[in-house]
Structure 1
Amino acid sequence: MTVQEFQAEKIEGSAKLLAFWLGSMPEDKQSWVPDVSGSAGLRTAREQVAECAAANRFFAALLKGEKPPLFRPFEVKSEYTSLEAAEQDLITSAAECAAVIRGMSDADLEKEYRLRRSMTGYQIIDFPYRNMAYHAGQINQLQLLYGDTEFHIPKG
């Protein structure tokens, strides 16, 4: 297995897990923000999924050599009208990103890409996975905050 295939599979798997955890929340809690005194920047689970989908597309464009769309994570809002729309968008964005990574050569992985600072393809291909894993933890924290203490794990 190549590095590209390994990372692509991690990205697709992470999206499926994140979509599962979103779906394990009651519909009304997917757009819920806890009232936490002194907090800043709290976002709903659906907003976090929307951010992950936008990030996946940002990195796919960057790695293809295109100018990525403007991306400000804390400004991404959810326009999902249903759980299914959120899950599908996330999984589709991960598949798009994974396809780009699968098509990268070893030279592409060593190439320097310019973000806020210069980074190699090796560094960049890890971002989509890490971002979704981070937000999966935030969604799990939201579940605890509204009182869900069940350990949600997908079947199979």
Structure 2
Amino acid sequence: MTVQEFQAEKIEGAAKLLAFWLGAMPEEKQSWIPALEGAAGLRTAREQVAECATANRFFTALLRGEKPALFRPFEVKSEYASLEDAQADLIASAAECAATIRGLSDENLEKEYRLRWPMTGYQVIEFPYRNMTYHSGQINQLQLLYGDVEFHIPKA
């Protein structure tokens, strides 16, 4: 298995897991922000999923050699009409990113990409996975904050 294939599979798996955890939340909690004294920058679960889908597309464009639009994570808002739309968008963005990564040469992984700082392709292909797993944890924390202590795990 190549590094590209390994990372592509991890990205697709992270998207499916994040989509699952979003679906484990009651519909009304997917757009809920807890009222926490002194907290700043809190976002809904759907906004976090929208950010992940946007980030996946940002990194896909970057890896394709395109100039992606400026990405500001805290400005991404959710306009999903339903849970199914959010899940489908996230999974589609991860599939597109994974397909791009599978098509990268080893030279692309050694290449330097410019973001806010220089990064190799090896570093860039980790970001979609790390971002989605980070937000999976945040969504799990939201579940705890509204009182859901069940351990949600996919059946398959």
Q: TM-score range by the shorter chain?
A: over 0.9
Deviations 1:53-101 (A, max 9, x none): 0000000000000011221000000000100000000000000000000
Deviations 1:23-74 (A, max 9, x none): 0000000000000000000000000000000000000000000011221000
Deviations 1:9-28 (A, max 9, x none): 00000000000000000000
Q: Report the counterpart of residue 141 of structure 1 in structure 2.
A: 141
Q: Report the counterpart of residue 118 of structure 1 in structure 2.
A: 118
Give the distance between the partners of 1:57 and 1:70, measured in 2 at CA.
Answer: 11
Give the distance between the partners of 1:116 and 1:143, measured in 2 at CA.
Answer: 33
Q: Which amino acid aligns with 2:31?
A: S
Runs of 5+ unmatched residues, structure 1: none
> Could you say what secondary structure the match of 2:48 adopts?
helix
> Could you say what secondary structure the match of 2:31 adopts?
coil
Could you tell me how far 1:146 is from its partner in structure 2? 0.2
Give the distance between the partners of 2:11 and 2:69, measured in 1 at CA.
Answer: 20
Runs of 5+ unmatched residues, structure 2: none
**Cα-Cα RMSD:** 0.3
Q: Which amino acid aligns with 1:148?
A: D
Q: Which amino acid aligns with 1:69?
A: A
TM-score for both structures, normalised by structure 2 = 1.00
Deviations 1:82-123 (A, max 9, x none): 000000000000000000000000000000000011110000
Identity of aligned residues (%): 81
